Structure 1
Amino acid sequence: MALNPAQSRPGLLMVNLGSPDSPTASDTRRYLAQFLHDYRVIDTSRWIWCPVLHGIILRTRPKKSAEAYESIWHEPAEFPGDEAPLIRITRAQAAGVQARLGDGVEVEIAMRYGNPSIGSAIDRLREKGCTRIAVLPLYPQFAGATTASVYDGVAMALEERMDVPELRFLRHYYDDPRYIEALAQSIETHLEPLDWTPDVIMTSYHGLPQSYVDKGDPYQSECLETTELLRQHMGKTEEELYATFQSRFGPKAWLQPYTDKTLEAIPAQGVKKVAVMMPGFSADCLETLEEIAIEAKESFEEHGGTHFTTIPCLNADELHLDLLADLAKERLLNGWL
């Protein structure tokens, strides 16, 4: 017998990007295949893209990517377990949000690609009697390739079901003052014990093809607004705190300035001490722990930099958990509790 919505508890589904099931080439290939088949991620014609993806990329990239995952699989140490860092941290975030929301809400996590899948998480919520589900994508800034893709993933998970839950969906939270405060406090907390002061603080966001923004994606403007709000909050100048974009892929022009090229160039300009934070990532992952903390640091030092530090993502910091719980209560669960 179907549950009366008034008699059921609402569910909160916290969704992040995802990771392979293990740092092996086979699991990484399976994960990349799902990720890179998403038209919101790669909008090239399938007639052009699929032969490239299956004939070249999925034959060559999984081994290298698996090695990168292996190098950071058990980091950060404060989140123990044998899953990828992103998943372990998301579980910790969900536990913190569940504690703040109490027994009136059922909280589950899902990954847009890989496991635990969106469909399986919805099943778990339905098994717990949730006929109303609020979806919280863990992306502060909206992008078609991230937040909108979560929307697609939820729709695909429900498309063959006869009984669909009532849904609510969070779009962004890049300009919430509590998010900006959490970022500022994380910077101060990380820099305070260092015996040196950075010449600049670089906010590095995941890149996006320039063509996506040209078509109307608001991601770039929301990233730049995040950095501007953070700059104002901390009383920094544009020379002391600025934005760059990392993780570009393929031959297209991506959002600039590029993080790696900037880090290679600034030592020659007298900027020898750098702190990098990644405000677009709600949890540390391959792009923060390996691409920035390892690869970018090595490149910066090879080009003359002397001091480099990576500021961890907000992860399960208390202010971050407070923010996520408040967002859920105010913008998703209002009237359901």
Structure 2
Amino acid sequence: MENNKKALVLLNMGGARRKDELKLFLTNMFNDKNIIAAPKLIRKMIAFFITTSRLNSAWKNYEEIGGFSPLNPLTEKLVDKVNENIKEYKTYQVMRYTPPFAKDVIEDMKKDGIEEVVLLPLYPQFSTTTTKSSLEDFKAYAKDSFKIKTKGTFYKNEAFNKCIIEEIKEKTNSQAGEFNLIFSAHGLPQKIVDKGDPYEKQMNKHVKILSKMLEEEGQNFKSINLAYQSKVGPMKWLDPSLDDMLENFKDENVIIYPIAFTVDNSETDFELDIEYREIAEEIGVKEFRVCKCVNDSDMFIEAIKDMIKFK
């Protein structure tokens, strides 16, 4: 490992470990030009307003899941396992809105003598708000320090999709026919999609791929659906919303898979498993199950091996 000149860098959004880090997360996110397309000064004012108005209520949500995002410990485990299993590279993590930040990790990589870098954004589908933002951030700080290759979307990767299918099968416990499956994706404002962001198209394609794989495995759900979570503010977001989708399943069983994420975070552990569970109970959904992300599973490590092959 000491003589390894190649690095694999796993890119993700980040997650808060305490309240001041949640403030940092929100501040950095709403200052991101890929999130809010406004002049820098306007963006800074918007970020300040949103952060100060939402911090306390957002922190209460974190307190319900133990006071920190599960994304951090899970990503550390993932990095350790990738380092153990993929010896060709030294693996690092870089987060967009909370430490470890690109600028600091890049300095560590220089000290480690890294010459070649493979960037793997941990977002299955491409969006300007996630993949593009994380890649731009890393490359801006790296400048010409390394020879960089980028792996883009991996929603078509069979090894990755097998991880998802296995988790769904485990959660249904051979009773797929009694459940309605909802793939829940993080929402996006409609205007971002209208400007050409491919996220929605890729999400639809991903659901088709997974639906076909489930059918081939004999997993015949009552229905398979796509819905979007996490809408904030008055503007139009992608629909159907998860709230509206759940209205269709009074007195029925529902299983949720968080299709936009690879590592569990506050949006899976709080939003899906607590907030939307309460909504489902109010609607009268009979049974509500939430799948885990691929996280640091052995199958996902094998999928990463497959993803970073350069044909």
Instruction: Identify the residue that residue 212 of structure 1 maps to in structure 2.
Output: 192
Instruction: Identify the residue that residue 184 of structure 1 maps to in structure 2.
Output: 165
Residue from 208, 233, 258 that aligns with 1:250: 233
> 3-state DSSP class of the match of 1:290?
helix
Structure 1 residues 15-94: aligned runs within 5 Å: 15-22=11-18, 24=19, 26-46=20-40, 48-54=42-48, 56-73=49-66, 84-94=69-79
> 3-state DSSP class of the match of 2:159?
helix
Instruction: Identify the residue that residue 274 of structure 2 maps to in structure 1.
Output: 294
Deviation at 1:267, TM superposition (A): 3.3
Rounded to whole Å, the distance in 2 between the matches of 1:239 and 1:126 is 53
Deviation at 1:326, TM superposition (A): 2.1
Letter in 2 for 1:266: N
Instruction: Identify the residue that residue 149 of structure 1 maps to in structure 2.
Output: 133
- Which ranges in structure 2 are unaligned for 5 or more consecutive residues? none
Identity of aligned residues (%): 24
Q: Deviations over 1:59-98 (max 9, x none)?
A: 2211111121122147xxxxxxxx6311111111112222
Rounded to whole Å, the distance in 1 between the matches of 2:225 and 2:253 is 14
Instruction: Identify the residue that residue 303 of structure 1 maps to in structure 2.
Output: 283
- Give the conservation status (yes or no) of the 8 Å contact 2:81–2:296: yes
Letter in 1 for 2:130: T
Instruction: Identify the residue that residue 101 of structure 1 maps to in structure 2.
Output: 86
Determine whether 1:119 maps to 2:103.
Answer: yes
Moved more, 41-50 or 58-67: 41-50
- Give the conservation status (yes or no) of the 8 Å contact 1:133–1:166: yes
Residue from 135, 150, 168 that aligns with 1:169: 150
Residue from 208, 216, 224 that aligns with 1:241: 224
- Give the conservation status (yes or no) of the 8 Å contact 2:30–2:43: no
- Give the conservation status (yes or no) of the 8 Å contact 2:157–2:307: no
- Give the conservation status (yes or no) of the 8 Å contact 1:314–1:320: yes
> 3-state DSSP class of the match of 1:314?
coil
Instruction: Identify the residue that residue 13 of structure 1 maps to in structure 2.
Output: 9
Q: 1:60 to 1:168 in 2, by over 3 A?
A: same
Letter in 1 for 2:227: T
- Which ranges in structure 1 are unaligned for 5 or more consecutive residues? 1-6, 75-82
> 3-state DSSP class of the match of 2:93?
strand
RMSD: 2.1
Letter in 2 for 1:36: F
- Say how many residue pairs are matched: 306
- Give the conservation status (yes or no) of the 8 Å contact 2:228–2:238: yes
Moved more, 83-92 or 168-177: 83-92
> 3-state DSSP class of the match of 1:13?
strand
- Give the conservation status (yes or no) of the 8 Å contact 1:40–1:144: yes
> 3-state DSSP class of the match of 1:115?
coil
Deviation at 1:47, TM superposition (A): 5.8
> 3-state DSSP class of the match of 2:234?
coil
Q: Deviations over 1:256-284 (max 9, x none)?
A: 11012211x1134x5x2100011210000
Rounded to whole Å, the distance in 1 between the matches of 2:50 and 2:130 is 21
Deviation at 1:155, TM superposition (A): 2.4
> 3-state DSSP class of the match of 2:169?
helix
State TM-score, norm by structure 1: 0.85
State TM-score, norm by structure 2: 0.91
